[in-house]
Amino acid sequence: MGPKFPMSQLKTPNYYVISCHRKYSTRILCHQKFSFKSLGDKWNLNDLTASSIQERLNVLMSRTQNFLNEVTSPLAKSGQTKKPDPENDVGFQVMEDIFMVEQTIERRTPYGTLSLAAVICIEQFSRMNGLTGNKMKNIFQTLVPETLYTDARNFVEYCCFRFLSRDTSDIHPSLQDPAFQRLIFITMLAWQNPYTNFLSSNAEKASLQSKLVTEEAFVRIAPAVSGVVDRPTVHHLFKALSGDQEGISMSAWLAYINEYLKVRRENRSYQIPEFPQIDDEKILCIGANNKQPVLKWENNMAWPGKLTLTDKAIYFEAVGLLGNKRAMRLDLTYDGLKVEKAKVGPLGSSLFDSAVSISSSSEPNWWALEFIDLGGEMRRDIWNALISEVIALHKFIHEHGPEDSDESLFNVYGARKGKQRATASAINGMARLQALQHLRKFPDDPIKLVQFSYLQNAPHGDIVLQTLAVNYWGGQLVTGFINTRSQPENRLSNETTENCNHAFDIDGSVYLQKWMKSQSWASSTSTTFWKNTSTKGLVLSKNLVVADLSLTERAAKTSKQKYQVVEKTQATINAATLKGIPSNIDLFKELIFPITLTVKNFEKLRRWEEPHLTVGFLGITYTMIFRNLLSYMLPTMLMITAVGMLTIRGLKEQGRLGRFFGGVTIRDQPPSNTIQKIIAVKDAMRDVENITQKVNVSLLKIRSILLSGNPQITTEVAVLMLTWSAILFIVPFKYILSFLLFDAFTRELEFRKEMVKRFMKLLRERWHAVPAAPVAVLPFENEESKPEISLKVIENKLKSQGNQSSGKSK
């Protein structure tokens, strides 16, 4: 038997106790206790060492001092204030009792020395499983190949997941025990660092509670505990809990768990006598606060009231002068509902940006709810996420879940509880969001913490939803055998070929093909994913796999990777989005600089500023035209561009182009006051208006030519177009192109300059003589009060404008 730190007597009763000081003893499981015996245990003379005796004496002296302090505390003067002693804290006693575990495995392994957190995790979960750490190790080595059991991280997973797999409830009952909460935190530290270089248990124990859990460890261990976090949203929860730190501290972890359990208890205790019709619904949140009221806007009027959100509908009971009015109900279970952030205000204005609108494409009635929050706009965002999650939940059930009357539910074990599992998962997610709201740990977007709403717009989210559907409704077959898209060689088909493409989870649970109503199942991405569902790890349940990932974890990991790519891309877009018209103009000039440089160089060639370059360019161009090499021009340009891009990529990977190669640099605008900014914006708007007017006039003139606004000009243009079409039919294109090239390069020469000027003057005169098409501006029409406008008046007005324009042209 290995050394002990600190020592305790090992017993293996029918049930175990993890717990604490007798004064603070708390149950972890419903019918289980986990007790760590301490200083009253017998000493084994074979295990006596100097370090173990020193540790036992230190603990004995510490507890003796605590006892003396408790005895003498009434003798202190009432005016004196005692400093808080951390060793008298309940959490300290719980941690001390967690450390009081007998070590049955050797810390020294051929692959490194096990850390204190790893040993505590292995020993504690082994006793909770009814075994010792050494026996658990022997069992683990017989179940997995050598490549897996040599890694202590996999052994930590096995000890933890084996205990967690014994419970299938929505929230693990052991979460209510402070000792279990701290044990899960220690497990995350053990998975994070299974090995250590320190051999002193006291040094490790002192630093254990101050360590931070990294994102990788939190993502692996926390979702394994039922109710703590959903796998698709675990990364966003980590960001919310860690804040500005590099990881999650024990205090933040315990505060989150306790607040989450408190919210769940409050949700279960909700009783609304005003709404007897919601007895069969689960109340999720109630919005009724004198300091932060809820207003329902209707017909430009705001009515304060009481808002209640359930898992199927939302209720609003307005407060009137003569008491409460009848409650209004909005069903959230049917398709077509849409929730958006909105602005409301009196007389139809958009003054207050603190509302949520709930509308439907099929129903004309819509709700506008304003959530007044004196501390900011997060209250509106939280409610927007909660309502969106309820709608997304029922959309998920409609698309991925079978009908309640489907007889095939009886052919798959546990499938009838799939809808209940999905609802419980959504309720837990909304409770976690409310817990973070109470802790004032707000994420950047609350929707990222509720999985069904988040996955609707997340990259690869449809595949994650498919894995959730297989998780909720999948189960072992009760009757018959079917084929599968992932394991066709292991299944025999007794059904028709229509039902031979079912999906299987890693534990053999089946999800029938007839339940695949969503169009996402027919995508190539879905087919590829479900063809590769094999695992190399040890499967304990459909959600717990040692040394490998479950299907939901795989899909969520891929979604996270693609989401990071989207985030990086969006970050570059946000960095390139400048404020101010002058800065954007400077950026645009810098971006089109290569095109501008190319045009300038072409103008130099056309004006014969460097005759030898112009002659060379024309020689090459005419050779390509008359040698029929124009068809090779575009492929050659594409090839040269691709080779250049690959060359730049190679040089950049070698670090020979610098870190900021490819970036754009512009000068910042000089500082200006408010009046100067207003004048600059006014000038810019006037310039935009002038440019828009000129473009509109040109388009109206072209419209007049095409629609015979001036018959004479229309005739001239039509004859000219017929002439050019005949030339294009008769003359080969290469001769026309050479003529146009000759015309472009001889315009600036002396023998053609005057002729070109006269021709361009003639074109401008003819263009100015073209009248614009008439424009009629109708008065504004409001849907509530539509003025009756006579069509004859409009026709007469158009005719009069047309006659005036034709008279001017004549």
Q: How confident is the model at residue 238 (pLDDT cuts 50, 70, 90)?
A: very high
In this structure, are 320 and 433 located in the same domain?
Answer: yes
Q: Which tokens sit at 713?
A: 């000009």
How much of the chain exceeds pLDDT 70, in percent?
78
* Residue pointed to by tokens 């989870």: 505
Say what the pLDDT of residue 785 is. Answer: 46
Average pLDDT in the 286-305 region? 81
Domain count of the chain?
A: 3
Residue 747 pLDDT > 50:
yes
* Predicted TM-score of the model (pTM): 0.73
Q: Give the integer Cα–Cα distance in Å for 402 and 409.
A: 8
- Would residue 250 count as lying in a domain? no
For 613-653, the three-class secondary structure string (H helix, E strand, C coil) is HHHHHHHHHHHHHHCCCHHHHHHHHHHHHHHHHHHHHHHHH
Distances (CA, A) of 768 to 687, 704, 757, 765, 803: 22, 13, 17, 5, 19
Asked if residue 791 has pLDDT above 80, the reply is no
The larger pLDDT score, comparing residue 735 to residue 351, is at 735
pLDDT of amino acid 663: 79
Q: Does one domain contain both 360 and 491?
A: yes
Same domain? For 10 and 158 the reply is yes
What average pLDDT does the segment 515-526 reach? 92
Give residue 773's pLDDT band: very low, low, confident or very high (50, 70, 90): confident
More confident residue, 629 or 75: 629
Q: In the prediction, which pLDDT does 278 show?
A: 66
What per-residue confidence (pLDDT) applies to 426?
A: 96
| Domain co-membership, 186 together with 311 | no
Q: Same domain, yes or no, for 43 and 143?
A: yes
Most confident listed range (77-81, 228-232, 487-491, 497-501): 228-232
Instruction: For residues 210-231, give the mean pLDDT.
Output: 95
Say how many residues make up the chain.
810
Residue 265 forms part of a structural domain: no
Lowest-pLDDT range of 30-39, 319-328, 700-709: 30-39
Q: Is residue 457 over pLDDT 60? A: yes
Q: What is the pLDDT of residue 474?
A: 94
Query: Does 403 lie in the same domain as 304?
Result: yes
Q: Which of 55-59, 116-120, 462-466 has the highest mean pLDDT?
A: 462-466
Predicted confidence band at 369 (pLDDT cuts at 50, 70, 90)? very high
**Does one domain contain both 190 and 305?**
no
Residues 450, 332: one domain? yes
φ, ψ at 656 (rounded to 5°) = -95, 0
* Predicted confidence (pLDDT) at residue 561 exceeds the cutoff of 90: yes
Whether 589 is in a domain gets the answer no
* CATH, residue 437: 2.30.29.30
Of the residues 508, 524, 555, the one at which a domain ends: 555
| CA distance readout (Å), 672 to 437, 577, 586, 665, 756 | 41, 20, 17, 21, 47
Look at residue 310 in the predicted model and tell me its pLDDT: 92
Read off the pLDDT of residues 389-411 as tens digits, 9 standing for 90 and up. Answer: 999 999 999 999 999 888 899 99
Domain boundary among 524, 555, 586: 555
Q: In the predicted model, what is the mean pLDDT of the chain? A: 80
Q: Summarize the confidence of residues 61-65 as an average pLDDT.
A: 53
Is pLDDT at 236 greater than 80 in this prediction? yes
Q: Is the pLDDT of residue 156 over 70?
A: yes
Q: Which of 14-28, 306-320, 533-547, 559-573 has the highest mean pLDDT?
A: 533-547
Give the C-alpha distances (Å, rounded to integers) separating 423 from 310, 312, 470. Answer: 11, 10, 15
- pLDDT over threshold 50, residue 88: no
Let me know: does 607 contact 750? Beta carbons within 8 Å. Answer: no
pLDDT single digits (tens) 27-50: 333 333 333 333 333 344 444 455
Confidence band, pLDDT 50/70/90 cuts, at residue 199: low
Among 56, 35, 219, 193, which Cα is nearest to 116's?
193
Contact partners, residue 535, CB within 8 Å, separation at least 6: 506, 545, 548, 549
**What are the CA-CA distances from residue 761 to residues 262, 740, 766, 767 (Å)?**
84, 20, 9, 10
Q: Which of 168, 184, 199 is the last residue of a domain?
A: 199
How do beta strands 503-504 and 301-310 pair? unpaired
For residue 74, what is the DSSP state? Answer: G
**DSSP 8-state code for residue 297:** E
Residues 390 and 494 in one domain: yes
Q: Is pLDDT of 516 > 90?
A: yes
Q: Look at residue 347 and tell me if it is in a domain.
A: yes
Looking at the fold, whether 324 and 192 belong to one and the same domain comes out as no
Q: Are residues 310 and 399 located together in one domain of the fold?
A: yes
Backbone angles phi, psi at 475, to 5 degrees: -170, 175
Strands 328-331 and 503-504: unpaired
56 lies in the same domain as 176: yes
Residue numbers of the domain that contains 25: 1-70+87-107+114-199
Q: Say yes or no to pLDDT of 571 above 60.
A: yes
3-state SS of 330-364 is: EECCCCCEEEEEEEECHHHCCCEEEEEEEEECCCC
Strand pairing class (328-331; 283-287): unpaired
